[in-house]
Amino acid sequence: MTTQPDTSAAPKQTGFAATDVLVNEFDGGPDTVQRAAGTPEELQPHTELGLKDDEYERIRQILGRRPTASELAMYSIMWSEHCSYKSSKVHLRQFGDKAPRGTRMLAGIGENAGVVQISDDLAVTFKVESHNHPSFVEPYQGAATGVGGIVRDILAMGARPIAVMDPLRFGAADHPDTARVLPGVVAGIGGYGNCLGLPNIGGEIVFDPTYQGNPLVNALSIGVLPVERLQHKEAAGVGNIVVLLGARTGRDGIGGVSVLASATFDEGAEQRRPSVQVGDPFMEKLLIESCLELYDAGLVAGIQDLGGAGLTCALTETAAAAGTGMRVWLERVPLREASMSPTEILASESQERMLLIVTPDNLERVLSVAEKWGVWATAIGEVTPSGEDGSPGRLVITWNDHVVVDVPPGSLADDGPVYARPIREPADLILLQADKAETLPRPSTGDELRETVLRMISSPNLCDKTWVTEQYDRYVLGNTVLAQPEDSGVLRIDENTGLGVALSVDGNGRFARLDPYEGARLALAEAYRNVAVTGAEPVAVTDCLNFGSPEDPAVMWQFAEAVRGLADGCQQLGTPVTGGNVSFYNQTGAAAIHPTPVVGVLGVFDNVARRIPMGFPAAGGDGDLIFLLGETSCELSGSEWAWVTHGHLGGRPPKVDLEAERRLAMLMARASEAGHVSAAHDLSDGGLSQALVESCLRRNVGAKVALPDDGQSAFVHLFSESAGRALVAVPRGHDKAFAALASEYGVPCAPLGVTSAEPVLEVRDQFSLPLDEARAAHEATLPALFGGVAELANRHGDPEHAADPTAPAGPDRGDAVLTTAASGAAMETAAPIEAEGIPAASAAEVKEPSPGGPIDPTA
């Protein structure tokens, strides 16, 4: 392994179609090892494949000759940023170095996904990954295969996948291209996940112009396994058979990781569509069932999923992990197109495939399980010994008796280049941090505050996301206890004991732009808090680090700071990073996205029956008491308020006190066990105002509150985004015990008011907001932008009722986001439509949100 500074310029953008280069083998047959040895001077397209000159020279040194066309393609893939982590490796080591001791981690970074033990005999595995570039080029398939890929990672650990979540970031909500990308991405996630039978239990939908040319489509999956079923990827056991299981191999996705994921976009982006894979969720479902049957029958010696980098990655990683060699007959690979060259077969990223290592004795049984499920299974090779001198074996691949590859597998999988890239704080950061939002003009009267609340709850980032989430199945498998819009997704794992998990995934690119170190810790704190307020104990972390080009020192500085922040934060909270993904080159042209570390936190419940939902419970009698936990400071920089009302981004993000977060989490777990809390909601984007509105709307329960009289203005109380806070409802009779518990844990606990059967949010001395009006503002935004209301109205031939898609204006134009007038107009269209029997959510029909919450069993 070498470390070399990389000072070369940005990669040359040629706009080529990946297939043009890769199929360009010499006339009359494939480029063989023999031929490569005889034609050392032949020019090879290494630059077009994303390899630097010095990297190409290293390949020649390793092989002692020029690489064959197939070998060159394999090195370009495996040494790409996506596969080799060459720019991030030196930083990511901190996650291991600073990992807290004594955790429940069974497998960590470097595996397909981290595995965490949650009981004597059960473990869960979870991971978040990016599929950003494919989803921009081809939103439906890009997003769909993002789900498919992360699910196979989970499957490869021996787990049954049990849920997915999707943190999504798009450009301005009203930008025409967002109307292209978002519906496609959402349909792709739904189309794949729904068909796979995995509930979608949460995620994020964020709009910001920074993601205009580069949306972020991250996908998280979680699975469960008996501890003893944990699988490994080592291709151990000389003479064992290498079996390719699943879909046939086609020409899709060639160059996906090297062309799409490891370079910035330019004008030629649409020509890269062939680099996007095409998904078949039905095949993946069969693949899942057949793999699980194989695991349970003990027929698998080693397994690796085929994702980015396809067969190349799976063959080299399984062999390298075991130190063995491998002999592969490429013509045995079942193909969709018979004319595929060996290079194409090796580079294809066709989906729904797994590589198995099985003993010769078990081969027949493996093939019959595959046949039962109607899945292709083909013995394509065998494990060969390491060298007589103890050196690792070689990966030898033939195609119709031509030797097209003969390499040491470790040189591809482990010995890729490692760069300590130059880092430099962005030149504009000091000025940006000096431009604080705390000095912006604020609303002050009750009427102004009321109007601001309405404007905020209807803004694209804070509005109701049902238009998206109802396209996802959240019920399948029957273990979803809480799902979006709750703070965390909560799943029951064991039906007998109630053992379960909570999962939340969060990020804030604006905070990270203002301070990447603190931004990463804030993302961690928010996800941690979202898990904690349900009553679960947070235990482990996964991350998806979305950044611009690592060749830009300013981006690299942001990355280094964010990793340092996250590693420090995890150390302090005692929650190890178990795995994740780095996504670089998220930029179009020179403009990088805001640095966007997305953090997933896993929590554990001994019994999910004690989970705390976010909505105020239907008020009986005098209502429950509402408390605000944590401390509110005047922290408006980077806030949603600054963005929505002023289009402002500047200053320093809110302070993070992870010790306070930890105490809050312990308080919530204890309170949940004791049954002291009937509802809890984390305070984050949009502050207290947003939390109050959401907690009220969830079950159409009102609240009467008085803001604390502590010197802070009503405005600061309502819209500051100080971390470490939560809103809780406490049943009468429990308030003293709860307050005592809060005091024991040192969590500030201020009484705010009571829940109320009257469907109104009343803030004493400030304003009163009927929930119908709040709901109308909150729910109209996405249907107006993406078609729901307009589409239904148009279908009824009533153009007057069609929502005007041009009405809302995004903050990137410097306009008001969505004025209350506009949202009111959009809502007016819903009423008459509903009267005709077409669905439109209304306050009246919301009986009980689901899943979750205590339910009237007499219904």
Partner 1 sequence: MRIGVVTFPGSLDDGDAARAARIAGADVVRLWHGDPDLHGVDAVVLPGGFSYGDALRCGAIARFAPVMESLVDAARGGLPVLGICNGFQILCEAHLLPGALTRNQHLHFRNRDQFLRVESTDTAWTNGFTDGQEILIPVKNGEGCYVADQRTLDQLEAEGRVVARYIRGNPNGSQRDIAAITNEAGNVVGIMPHPEHAVETLTGPSLDGLGFFTSVLRALAGASAGAHAGGHQ
Which residue ranges make up the annotated binding site for substrate? 130-133, 152, 277, 349-351, 583
Q: Are strands 376-384 and 241-246 parallel, antiparallel or unpaired?
A: antiparallel
- Name residue 206's beta-bridge partners: 169
Residue stretches of the annotated binding site: 85, 127, 129-133, 152-153, 277, 305, 349-351, 543, 580-581, 583
161, 623, 788, 810: which one binds partner 1 (CB under 8 A): 788
DSSP character string of 290-304: HHHHHHHTT--SEEE
Which stretch, 134-142, 195-203, 256-264, 687-695, contacts partner 1 (CB under 8 A)? 195-203
Cβ closest to partner 1, residue 462 vs residue 481: 481
Q: How far apart are CA 368 and CA 374, in angstroms?
A: 10
By C-alpha distance, which of 705, 707, 814 is closest to 768? Answer: 705
Residue 275 sits in the site that holds partner 1 (CB under 8 A) = no
Which stretch, 215-223, 294-302, 575-583, 842-850, contacts partner 1 (CB under 8 A)? 842-850
Residue ranges of alpha helices (H) inside 515-619 are 516-532, 553-573
73, 286, 322, 723: which one binds partner 1 (CB under 8 A): 286
Residue 838 sits in the site that holds partner 1 (CB under 8 A) = yes
31, 48, 208, 280: which one binds partner 1 (CB under 8 A): 280
User: Residues of 642-673 as b/e, b for ≥16 C-beta within 10 angstroms?
Assistant: bbbbbbbbbbbbbebbbebbbbbbbbbbbbbe
Which stretch, 390-398, 642-650, 682-690, 831-839, contacts partner 1 (CB under 8 A)? 831-839
Cβ closest to partner 1, residue 469 vs residue 823: 469
Residue 297 sits in the site that holds partner 1 (CB under 8 A) = no
Residue 31 sits in the site that holds partner 1 (CB under 8 A) = no
Interacting residues of 619 by C-beta distance below 8 A, sequence separation 6+: 701, 702, 755, 756, 757
Cβ closest to partner 1, residue 160 vs residue 233: 160
| 635, 654 contact by CB (below 8 A) | yes
Residue 725 sits in the site that holds partner 1 (CB under 8 A) = no
595: left (phi over 0), alpha (psi -120 to 50) or beta: beta
Determine the residue type at 558: Q
Give CA angle at 711 (708, 714), nearest 5°.
55
| 589, 266 contact by CB (below 8 A) | yes
Residue 351 sits in the site that holds partner 1 (CB under 8 A) = no
Q: Find the largest Cα–Cα distance for the chain.
A: 90
Cβ closest to partner 1, residue 323 vs residue 788: 788
10, 434, 609, 674: which one binds partner 1 (CB under 8 A): 609
Name the active-site residue from 131, 594, 681, 734.
131
Residue 474 sits in the site that holds partner 1 (CB under 8 A) = yes
Which stretch, 37-45, 50-58, 116-124, 185-193, contacts partner 1 (CB under 8 A)? 185-193
Distances, alpha carbon 604 to alpha carbons 94, 122, 124, 813, in Å: 25, 12, 10, 43
Cβ closest to partner 1, residue 232 vs residue 611: 611
Return the DSSP state at 276.
Answer: S
Residue stretches of the annotated binding site for ATP: 85, 127, 543, 580
Q: Annotated catalytic, 46?
A: no
For 820, other C-beta atoms within 10 Å of its C-beta total: 19
Residue 593 sits in the site that holds partner 1 (CB under 8 A) = no
Chain residues 478-497 in contact with partner 1, contact rule CB under 8 A: 478-481, 492, 495
Residue stretches of the annotated binding site for Mg(2+): 129, 153, 305, 581
Distances, alpha carbon 229 to alpha carbons 159, 297, 370, 503, 538, in Å: 8, 10, 19, 23, 24
Which stretch, 343-351, 654-662, 809-817, 849-857, contacts partner 1 (CB under 8 A)? 849-857
Q: How far apart are CA 218 and CA 131, in angstroms?
A: 6
Cβ closest to partner 1, residue 540 vs residue 833: 833
194, 341, 362, 820: which one binds partner 1 (CB under 8 A): 194
Cβ closest to partner 1, residue 291 vs residue 688: 291
Residue ranges of alpha helices (H) inside 166-259 are 176-196
The dihedral through the CA atoms of 26, 29, 34, 38 has a sign that is negative
146, 148, 190, 569: which one binds partner 1 (CB under 8 A): 190
* Interface residues toward partner 1, by CB under 8 A: 187, 190-191, 194-197, 280-283, 285-286, 373-374, 470-481, 492, 495, 608-609, 788, 791-792, 795, 834, 837-840, 844-845, 847-851, 854-857, 859
Please give the positions annotated as active site.
Answer: 82, 131
